Amino acid sequence: MKEKNIPAELVKIAYKAGLLIMDIYQEKFDVNTKTDNSPVTIADKNAEELILNDLYNIFPDIPVVSEEAYSNGILPDFNDKFFLVDPLDGTKEFIKKNGEFTVNIGLIKSELSVMGVIYAPAKNIMYFSDEKNNAYELKIDKNFSGSLKNAKKINTNSYDIKNLIAVTSRSHNNKKTNDFLRDYNIQETLLLGSSYKFCLLACGKADIYPRLSPTCEWDIAAGHAILKAAGGNIYTLDGDELRYGHKDNNFINPHFLARHY
């Protein structure tokens, strides 16, 4: 594994999945419903197939826990190290065609998210972290070759706790979240879909993201790694750093607070 440039490989995989997703995005597609009543499309399924195939070929010794596979009862044996994949995070936004959806690949080690890639293909922008705990933003154009040389290092906002910009879920906002934010000096609240919210925190365009409704580990693992590398973190409401690999809880996260410090 050390012989491979892991961020570069993950960026390439996410990019390929994004191309596939955007091809479907431009056309008409059917929307089906999973057993948990969440929507799923052919883009979710095809992107996951591509990502799983590439991860297995490039990192054969690292198990992959992925959203659609898990929803179909497929869970590999995993221990200390594994990937968490959401091939199309923000399916509701994909269906609405508002561009707020992402490809998420996170690497977990000892229950912590240590590396991540988030690609927002409709926005032509990639975010990722590396082994040296740096976070980057990379603009993607039609001639993208997989090179990371134009990636720009990003950091969270300053430690100023005045006039905060909050981000909350476009599709899952609730009264609990609004009440929670009353304890903070919020200047503006942005409603956004998918893990793109973590990217705004990581590059200093937002400061706080409370999530008081259900999420799964593959929804946030990549964003957690990127945010942490940029200077922020994700905490449970008890103040502990969020951890991963809770198969006994169906990989459902506790409520959490992502913030810029």
Report pLDDT for 159.
Answer: 66
Measured in degrees and rounded to the nearest 5, phi and psi for residue 175 equal: -65, -35
Q: What is the CATH number of the domain that holds 67?
A: 3.30.540.10
Question: 142 and 169 in one domain?
Answer: no
CA dist list (Å): 62 to 109, 185, 243:
10, 43, 18
How far, in Å, CA of 70 to CA of 82, rounded?
Answer: 14
pLDDT bracket for residue 173 (50, 70, 90): confident
The stretch 37-56 carries a mean pLDDT of 97
Quick check: is 56 in a domain? yes
How far, in Å, CA of 117 to CA of 103, rounded?
Answer: 8
Question: 206 and 85 in one domain?
Answer: no
How far, in Å, CA of 231 to CA of 228, rounded?
Answer: 5
- Domain boundaries, position 255: 164-259
Report pLDDT for 4.
Answer: 78
Place of tokens 């070759």: 145
Quick check: is 103 in a domain? yes
Quick check: is 1 in a domain? no
Interval 12-39: pLDDT, tens? 999 999 999 999 999 999 999 999 899 9
Question: 191 and 126 in one domain?
Answer: no
pLDDT bracket for residue 172 (50, 70, 90): confident
In the predicted structure, residue 161 carries a pLDDT above the cut 80: no
Question: 84 and 53 in one domain?
Answer: yes
Cβ count within 10 A of residue 198: 31
The stretch 70-74 carries a mean pLDDT of 96
pLDDT bracket for residue 46 (50, 70, 90): very high
CA dist list (Å): 194 to 88, 111, 148, 149, 200:
9, 22, 24, 27, 11
Question: 146 and 44 in one domain?
Answer: yes
Tell me the H-state helices in 143-195. Answer: 175-181
Boundary of a domain, candidates 136, 154, 172: 154
**What is the percentage of the chain residues whose pLDDT exceeds 90?**
93
How far, in Å, CA of 177 to CA of 213, rounded?
Answer: 8
Quick check: is 159 in a domain? no
In the predicted structure, residue 82 carries a pLDDT above the cut 80: yes
Q: What is the mean pLDDT of the chain?
A: 95
Boundary of a domain, candidates 128, 154, 180: 154
In the predicted structure, residue 2 carries a pLDDT above the cut 60: no
The stretch 89-116 carries a mean pLDDT of 97
Closest CA to 219 of 209, 229, 205, 207: 209
Q: 123, 99 in Cβ contact below 8 A? A: yes
**What is the percentage of the chain residues whose pLDDT exceeds 70?**
97
Question: 188 and 140 in one domain?
Answer: no
Question: 116 and 25 in one domain?
Answer: yes
Quick check: is 40 in a domain? yes
In the predicted structure, residue 237 carries a pLDDT above the cut 50: yes
Question: 199 and 103 in one domain?
Answer: no
Quick check: is 173 in a domain? yes
In the predicted structure, residue 193 carries a pLDDT above the cut 60: yes
Give the chain's domain count: 2
Report pLDDT for 1.
Answer: 41
Q: What is the CATH number of the domain that holds 251?
A: 3.40.190.80
The stretch 211-218 carries a mean pLDDT of 96
Question: 174 and 141 in one domain?
Answer: no
Boundary of a domain, candidates 154, 179, 198: 154
Compute, in degrees rounded to 10, the torsion defined by CA atoms 79, 83, 89, 91: -70
Question: 174 and 82 in one domain?
Answer: no
How far, in Å, CA of 200 to CA of 189, rounded?
Answer: 12
Question: 138 and 63 in one domain?
Answer: yes
Helix axes 42-58, 6-25, angle to 10 degrees: 160
Strands 186-192 and 164-169: parallel
The stretch 163-188 carries a mean pLDDT of 92
The stretch 115-126 carries a mean pLDDT of 98
Question: 169 and 145 in one domain?
Answer: no
